[in-house]
Amino acid sequence: MNWIFRKAMQIYAHGKNRRKGTEMKGLYAYFAYGSNLLPERLFQRCPTAVPYAPAILPNYRLTERLYADVDYAPGEQVHGFVYLLRAHDVARLDRYEGYPQIYLRYTVDVILDDGTELPALIYEMTPKTKEIRNGLPYPEEYRKICREGANLHRIKNHFIRKWRRK
């Protein structure tokens, strides 16, 4: 485990990263819901990312299309995790996610555990990608990575059928 991951998890565990106001200046909240739930995976793509908080993306559902995707679905919700990213990490993540050819990036409001709404970046597959990949199952290794990340953050989603907070 690298030192950035250890430090970020230490900050998350002690709640020091939940300050509001100017501390967020220059940072972007990013809502992870697939393989980027696993910090080691996200840190490979965004080395200066900082874990922030579990969150819910309201009015969307998690969809299996070879890789994780979200669809607008009133009344449903996606459980995920918010990381804080610097602009250069957003640019790196854009490249990794294939923005704008494979995934589009949007800013939406997510809801933190305390009920606070936070504008966060999400990636959603383009209509063309959705059409091509619709119905394709996750590769087992991808599902395992997503499950590991969801377990780490104690997030309930379709990667984990049975779940409870400790």
How much is the pLDDT for 24?
62
Say if 19 falls within a structural domain. Answer: yes
Say if 163 falls within a structural domain. Answer: no
The total domain count for the chain is 1
Q: Pick from 164, 162, 143: which is nearest to 37 by CA?
A: 143
How much is the pLDDT for 159?
72
Question: Contact 143/159 with Cβ under 8 angstroms?
Answer: yes
Residue 97 among the catalytic residues: yes
CATH number at residue 102: 3.10.490.10
Mean pLDDT of 13-41: 73
The answer on pLDDT for 12 being more than 60 is no
From the annotation, which residues make up the binding site for substrate?
30-35
Active-site position among 97, 124, 131, 148: 97
- Mean residue pLDDT across the chain: 86
How much is the pLDDT for 25?
72
Say if 93 falls within a structural domain. Answer: yes
Q: What percent of the chain shows pLDDT beyond 70?
A: 81
